[in-house]
Structure 1
Amino acid sequence: MTSTTHASFPPKQDESVPAHPDYDPRHPLVVFGDHRFCAGESVEVRRMPGPHMHSQIELNFVLEGAMTYWFDGRELTVDAGRLCLFWGMVPHQVIEVQHATRFVCLYVPMSVFLGLPALSPFRDAVFRGAVIEATHLTPWDRDIFLRWREELLSNDAALTDIVRNELTARVLRIQRDGWHDLRADASAIPAIAPQDAARIDHVERMLRFIAERAHDPISAEDVAAATTLHPNYAMGLFRRTVGHTINQAITRHRLDTARSLLISTDRTVAEIVFGAGFGSSSRFYEAFEQRFGESPGAFRQRMRRGS
């Protein structure tokens, strides 16, 4: 499945990934990428008709102009010469674009970040929903990002491996040279233990399973079964790495899906409850108000007044 509404968001879809039942081509609310290194096909930034999510880490290097994101309830503007990255599973939407704004958009598998223990504060901020901005750029970053984009779009496996190594090194330099959270509210979670580093692929499988199946009645045991590990070990590894339990991750994803649907569709709250994967309206209302501090109806009204 490929969204034709905005070519640069997201990359082409892997046909092996099941479509979300609430997917509407006019409102690409929840879109799952193909989990590989890839690049946005267009350098032109366009407004998005609704918020969406995808599984990879997204890097945006703005070449010219300026773009404003709605990101997890906040508006953040990034202009020319700035480099930002964030986890695509946090709902986001380009809501304003200055004329002739161009950028390079790269998508990086979450395993790259989970597999870098030296980046634990940085990685943890990303998975907490931070929008990371590099505070030190080089004169050659522009040319390098353009080259990475061209090489990833070439679908050359050898070049992709080179880009993987070079981009991983660039991410390491962001951590070393300086970064900050544009939301200014990053918080750390426990760093992954060295002995768990080899198990990162299992964490990625569990995160991917949640992203693709949270609208179904899944349990923590179902998520753990996506790995070859003992269920108890898998659940513990997930919590140590991501910072919350599998059940909390499932609920968070369902709430993010529901919030996206509240913003960009006219579906009733009852329809959204079950479309997002909640089996109980009372449980949905309780979880929504606990996380966002207001009822679903009040949230929808406030967002529509703001728009």
Structure 2
Amino acid sequence: MDGRVYYEPLVDGVERLPTELQMFHGAPLIMRAAHWHAQVEINFIVRGWAHYKMSGHEATFSQGDLALFWGGQPHWLDEGSEDLVYAGGHLPLVHFFRLRLPSDVQAKLMKGATLVTHATDASDPINFARWNAYARSGDSIKASLAVDELLLRIERIRFSPYSLLPELRAVEDNGGLDHHTSPIVVRICEYIAENFREEIDSIDIAVAADIHPKYAMTVFKKSTGMTLNDYVNLMRLSYAQAMLMRDDASVLTIAMDSGFGSLSAFNKSFRKVAGTSPSDFRRDVRGRPVAAITARDLAHRAAL
């Protein structure tokens, strides 16, 4: 043993707060295994370096690097410098869908790519520290400002040089990634990311992953802690919330565009998650800080 304290992911490797914004700033613990969370992860390396194993590629982020990747695929912080300090957050899908990124970049992120830029400056360490403090302050206005400023910072990446990984090199198997089930989960996530706004079910997903529907449901639940239906529904509702926050389209149009087959199904699902109707959500979210409404942890409803 090397004497280090390690981060132990949950038994199934899943973070269970998909609708909650989580900010962090400090020295991370090296993970013993991969984990998974239904949010986009932002990493800014304040000091030192960090090495990640993703599904299908690996990446090393050094001081000053800003990275963005979809946490919905297994990833593993397996090594880092002794002086490593990083900042960032787990960004709920509703905020990810608000981002004005190039469409191809957003699609590639949802399918497992990692975006990294070295074009950062002296203001980034200060800003990430402030956003972390604001998000944890308990003040809904400060939390809302943290979200909005973070989104603007991410959107500015498009105006500077950036890279999209993976690189063409294999990931060594040290026992942290399940190389039998992980590729299946990756294929499932890719298919859902591309098609959640269409009428799809577990059979369609299983066919796309080239496995039996029951096996698809079992593997996905075991690997992610979510059922296929819960995951598809989370994608659709997050997309709908983002549309309600930024667009003036009718609720019916948003329901159809988000993948719901009817307005009644949309209203029922939305109310179950948000505790209010889509119309009331739109009115409230435009009248008070965004984070006060969308950062609630609603995951317990599905016993994730």
The answer (yes or no) to whether the contact 1:135–1:180 under 8 Å persists in 2 is no
Distance 1:112 1:99, change over 3 A: same
**1:161: which partner in 2?**
144
Does residue 104 in structure 1 map to residue 87 in structure 2?
yes
Aligned counterparts of 2:50 and 2:14: Cα–Cα separation in 1: 21
Distance 1:229 1:129, change over 3 A: farther
Aligned counterparts of 1:233 and 1:154: Cα–Cα separation in 2: 37
Aligned counterparts of 1:184 and 1:113: Cα–Cα separation in 2: 24
Distance 1:219 1:61, change over 3 A: closer
**1:15: which partner in 2?**
none
1:30 to 14, 35, 40: 14
1:131 to 109, 114, 118: 114
**2:135: which partner in 1?**
152
1:91 is paired with a residue whose SS is coil
1:175 to 155, 158, 166: 158
Does residue 93 in structure 1 map to residue 94 in structure 2?
no
Superposed counterparts of 1:113-262, under 5 Å: 113-116=96-99, 119-184=102-167, 214-215=221-222, 223=232, 233=256
Does residue 44 in structure 1 map to residue 27 in structure 2?
yes
Normalization by structure 2: what TM-score? 0.54
Aligned counterparts of 1:233 and 1:220: Cα–Cα separation in 2: 17
1:61 to 25, 39, 44: 44
Distance 1:175 1:32, change over 3 A: farther
Q: Percent identity?
A: 23
Kindly state the Cα deviation for residue 152 of structure 1 after the two structures are TM-superposed. 1.1
Where do 5+ consecutive residues of structure 1 fail to align? 10-22, 193-198, 200-209, 239-307
Normalization by structure 1: what TM-score? 0.53
Tell me which of the two structures has the higher relative contact order, counting C-alpha pairs closer than 8 angstroms and 6 or more residues apart: 2
**1:258: which partner in 2?**
none
Q: How many residue pairs are counted as aligned between the two chains? A: 196
Aligned CA RMSD, in angstroms, stands at: 4.0
Kindly state the Cα deviation for residue 100 of structure 1 after the two structures are TM-superposed. 1.6
Distance 1:49 1:174, change over 3 A: same
**1:263: which partner in 2?**
none
Kindly state the Cα deviation for residue 106 of structure 1 after the two structures are TM-superposed. 1.1
Residues 163-189 of structure 1: CA distance to partner in whole angstroms, max 9, x if unpaired? 11111111110123232113148xx99
Kindly state the Cα deviation for residue 158 of structure 1 after the two structures are TM-superposed. 0.7
Distance 1:165 1:149, change over 3 A: same
Aligned counterparts of 1:220 and 1:128: Cα–Cα separation in 2: 18
2:159 is paired with a residue whose SS is helix
**1:6: which partner in 2?**
7
Aligned counterparts of 1:68 and 1:217: Cα–Cα separation in 2: 27
The answer (yes or no) to whether the contact 1:69–1:95 under 8 Å persists in 2 is yes
Where do 5+ consecutive residues of structure 2 fail to align? 169-189, 198-216, 238-250, 262-304
The answer (yes or no) to whether the contact 2:48–2:63 under 8 Å persists in 1 is yes
Aligned counterparts of 1:103 and 1:157: Cα–Cα separation in 2: 24
Kindly state the Cα deviation for residue 68 of structure 1 after the two structures are TM-superposed. 0.8
Residues 36-83 of structure 1: CA distance to partner in whole angstroms, max 9, x if unpaired? 22212x511221011000011111111111111111143311111111
Kindly state the Cα deviation for residue 223 of structure 1 after the two structures are TM-superposed. 4.8
